[in-house]
Chain A
Amino acid sequence: MLHFLRRRLTVAILVALTVLTLSFLLTRLSGDLAISIAGPNASQEDIELIRRAYGLDRPLWVQYFDWLWRALQGDFGDSYFFKTRVSRLIMERMPITMTLGLCGLAIALCVALPLGILAAVRENTWVDRSVLMVALIGQAMPSFWLGLTLMIVLGLNLGWLPISGTGSWEHYVMPSIVLSFSAIPSLMRLTRSGMIEALASDYIRTARAKGLSRLSILVKHGFRNAAIPVVAIAAVQLGFMLGGSIVIETVFALHGVGYLAWESISKNDFPVVQAVVLVLALIYIGLTLLSDLLNAVLDPRLRSA
């Protein structure tokens, strides 16, 4: 078990380094950064000045190791546009993105788990089919379109919720709902198939033979086993949601990390983009490690292995 964790950690670190490199290369795509920063009206002199000021005249590998060395210490440099430390920018915005992600996950679980269990218990009935249809619909829905539609219906026509900004908890409702749509189909399907498998197993037959109550059989025995992969996947889904929050934050004008990245891309603010890619990847890696841990904690068979 410990050996397994150690191996996962090594892989995680290597992946982090790879992403670090990739994010560096990402920003070097547009060729000469100095020109992009200087803008279309800059003179040759201005460009040279900028080049020297931002250290862009050094050889590429020097720039890379500089980035690497600093990133390892949490120093992501300064934003070209905001003139503040990038790490500070990210820290300020992160709570918003995190809140969005966690709310989205919470909604997804509250919807997907009961529906998945219901579909499994009523397998092959119209209930099951309706639930699967919900999953299909959720999968096919473009998130930004759903966001706009909800804005029109809930925000404008019914006036229930504010349509943009981050004033109060109400501002998070619609974005969280839209975000949850991306996770509901897979979580629901997984719960359903896990429950179907669990309910068909021998230990459920034993539980019935012991005369236990229906609730006990379903939840205590059935769901407890079906939940193991679901919980693990939920952690990973959170990672996906955080990574994909950029679209929703832009639609709803939520000033989180995704919105920051979006602004920075349009302004060619390379250090910010570089750092955000890295940070989101690191969070995802952390969540996959958490997911493995949860798996081990919940499944006794893995603990002593």
Chain B
Amino acid sequence: MSTVLQPAGASSRRRIWRNAGAILGVGIVGFITLVAILAPWLAPHDPFTIDLGRRVIPPMWMEGGTPDNILGTDQLGRDYLSRLIYGARVSMIIGVATIITSGIIGTFLGVMGGFYGGRVDDAVVFAITARLSIPVVLVALAVAGFSGGASFTLVILVLGLLLWDRFAVVARSTTMQIRNLDYVAAARCAGCSPMTVLLKEVLPNIATHLAVVATLEMALAILLEAALSFLGLGVPPPEPSWGLMISEAKEYMFFSPWVIMIPGIALFVLVLGVNLLGDALRDMLGTDLSR
């Protein structure tokens, strides 16, 4: 008999709270995705056009602002709002591309290890342990720095090759759980090749768990890209990465703090939204393997 029963009111309150979080998460991510896709139509100006005569104009609602540049301009006279909107593209593309890359790598390794066990599994576990020992930010920076300059593709590649560990861990543990279940054994007995079993029985069942991991890793990828761009070794200028915008604004942030607040808040809201989405997915599942 359960000794942890809640009064009726609490469970519905909890549900409302969880739903609020899920709605917020979906809303934020959906909104920013739309902004990213519709950037060319939404941005009032071209984000790359330099206009040295209109440098560091404050946002519209502050003294000295103009409705021409709703969020003001940066140190090269480029419209801040437009750069912000195009910056959403950068974050979203890198986020999604990274999790696809790392997801494929990690899931493959995890499923192999979990399914075959034995030496294969030992190798996979060793790879995960080794990957975890590597200081990610430092290595990412070093790769970008030593490869003769950064680029979009390089960032995606580096992050994709570094952020697969949680995918592997979750894929491995869920595969191990499923491997021993009856219907998988039945499929193997029926003479199905291991590949068929994997594709038809294992993958669909670990998909939801992997989706939860995907959101966590996407949040991480977005933050890492911002950090890399901030340090000058991520997305190269003049691409409007939010991290890069903060870095460029560092010089005069004490005089005009809004220049770092705006992209910073954008980053924060996006990552928050992705995390809320992940929490909502996790609640739908009921189990929690990814922490």
Binding site for B on A (CB under 8 A): 11, 14-16, 18-19, 22, 26-27, 29-31, 36, 124, 129, 136-137, 139-145, 148-149, 152, 156, 186, 189-190, 200, 205, 242-244, 246-247, 250, 258, 261-262, 265-266, 268, 270, 273, 276-277, 280-281, 284-285, 288
> B267's closest neighbor in chain A, by CB?
A142
Residue from B133, B254, B271 in contact with A140 in the complex, judged by beta carbons closer than 8 Å: B271
With A22-B134, A129-B17 in contact, do A140 and B219 touch (Cβ < 8 Å)?
yes
Residue from B10, B132, B291 in contact with A190 in the complex, judged by beta carbons closer than 8 Å: B291
Main secondary structure of the interface of A (DSSP, over half): helix
> When the two chains form their complex, are residues A145 and B146 in contact, meaning their CB atoms are under 8 A apart?
no
> A22's closest neighbor in chain B, by CB?
B134
Decide if B31 is an interface residue (CB 8 Å cutoff): no
Contacts of B126 in A (CB 8 A): 11, 14-15
Binding site for A on B (CB under 8 A): 3-4, 6, 10, 13-14, 17, 126, 129-130, 132-139, 141-143, 145-148, 219, 223, 226-227, 230-231, 233, 243, 246, 250, 253-254, 257, 260-261, 264, 267-269, 271-272, 275-276, 279, 291
> When the two chains form their complex, are residues B134 and A139 in contact, meaning their CB atoms are under 8 A apart?
no
> When the two chains form their complex, are residues B135 and A244 in contact, meaning their CB atoms are under 8 A apart?
yes
Residue from A136, A145, A200, A258 in contact with B276 in the complex, judged by beta carbons closer than 8 Å: A136
> When the two chains form their complex, are residues A141 and B146 in contact, meaning their CB atoms are under 8 A apart?
no
Task: Give Cα distance in the complex from A29 to B158, angstroms.
Answer: 12
> When the two chains form their complex, are residues B260 and A149 in contact, meaning their CB atoms are under 8 A apart?
yes
> When the two chains form their complex, are residues B142 and A137 in contact, meaning their CB atoms are under 8 A apart?
no
> When the two chains form their complex, are residues A26 and B142 in contact, meaning their CB atoms are under 8 A apart?
yes
> B17's closest neighbor in chain A, by CB?
A129
> When the two chains form their complex, are residues A142 and B271 in contact, meaning their CB atoms are under 8 A apart?
yes
Task: Give Cα distance in the complex from A273 to B144, angstroms.
Answer: 13
Residue from B135, B138, B146, B254 in contact with A30 in the complex, judged by beta carbons closer than 8 Å: B146
Task: Give Cα distance in the complex from A296 to B250, angstroms.
Answer: 47
> When the two chains form their complex, are residues A266 and B145 in contact, meaning their CB atoms are under 8 A apart?
yes
Query: Shortest Cβ distance from B134 into chain A, in angstroms?
Result: 6
Residue from A19, A129, A143, A205 in contact with B227 in the complex, judged by beta carbons closer than 8 Å: A143
Q: List 9 A-B contacts (CB under 8 A).
A: A27-B142, A27-B146, A140-B275, A142-B243, A142-B267, A144-B227, A261-B138, A261-B142, A262-B231
> When the two chains form their complex, are residues B130 and A19 in contact, meaning their CB atoms are under 8 A apart?
yes
Residue from B133, B137, B141 in contact with A284 in the complex, judged by beta carbons closer than 8 Å: B133
> When the two chains form their complex, are residues B6 and A124 in contact, meaning their CB atoms are under 8 A apart?
yes
Query: Shortest Cβ distance from B48 into chain A, in angstroms?
Result: 23
Give 16 new A-B contacts, CB below 8 A, not counting A15-B129, A270-B146: A29-B143, A31-B148, A129-B17, A140-B219, A140-B271, A140-B272, A144-B227, A145-B267, A152-B253, A189-B291, A243-B134, A243-B136, A243-B137, A246-B137, A262-B141, A265-B142
> When the two chains form their complex, are residues A145 and B260 in contact, meaning their CB atoms are under 8 A apart?
yes
Contacts of A16 in B (CB 8 A): 133
Task: Give Cα distance in the complex from A258 to B142, angstroms.
Answer: 12
> When the two chains form their complex, are residues A30 and B230 in contact, meaning their CB atoms are under 8 A apart?
no
Contacts of B136 in A (CB 8 A): 243-244
> When the two chains form their complex, are residues A276 and B230 in contact, meaning their CB atoms are under 8 A apart?
no
Task: Give Cα distance in the complex from A29 to B154, angstroms.
Answer: 13
Contacts of A156 in B (CB 8 A): 254
> When the two chains form their complex, are residues B272 and A137 in contact, meaning their CB atoms are under 8 A apart?
yes
Contacts of A11 in B (CB 8 A): 126, 129
Contacts of B135 in A (CB 8 A): 242-244, 246, 277, 280-281, 284
> When the two chains form their complex, are residues B130 and A243 in contact, meaning their CB atoms are under 8 A apart?
no
> A33's closest neighbor in chain B, by CB?
B146
Most A Cβ at <10 Å: residue of B129, B134, B264? B134
> When the two chains form their complex, are residues A19 and B134 in contact, meaning their CB atoms are under 8 A apart?
yes
Contacts of A139 in B (CB 8 A): 219, 271-272, 275
Task: Give Cα distance in the complex from A31 to B148, angstroms.
Answer: 9
With A244-B137, A247-B137 in contact, do A140 and B268 touch (Cβ < 8 Å)?
yes
Contacts of B17 in A (CB 8 A): 129
> B226's closest neighbor in chain A, by CB?
A142
With A261-B138, A277-B134 in contact, do A149 and B261 touch (Cβ < 8 Å)?
yes
Task: Give Cα distance in the complex from A142 to B231, angstroms.
Answer: 13
Contacts of B272 in A (CB 8 A): 136-137, 139-140
Query: Shortest Cβ distance from A221 into chain B, in angstroms?
Result: 16
Query: Shortest Cβ distance from A212 into chain B, in angstroms?
Result: 17
Task: Give Cα distance in the complex from A261 to B233, angstroms.
Answer: 13
> When the two chains form their complex, are residues B139 and A149 in contact, meaning their CB atoms are under 8 A apart?
no
Contacts of B276 in A (CB 8 A): 136
Most A Cβ at <10 Å: residue of B17, B133, B269? B133
Most A Cβ at <10 Å: residue of B4, B146, B267? B146
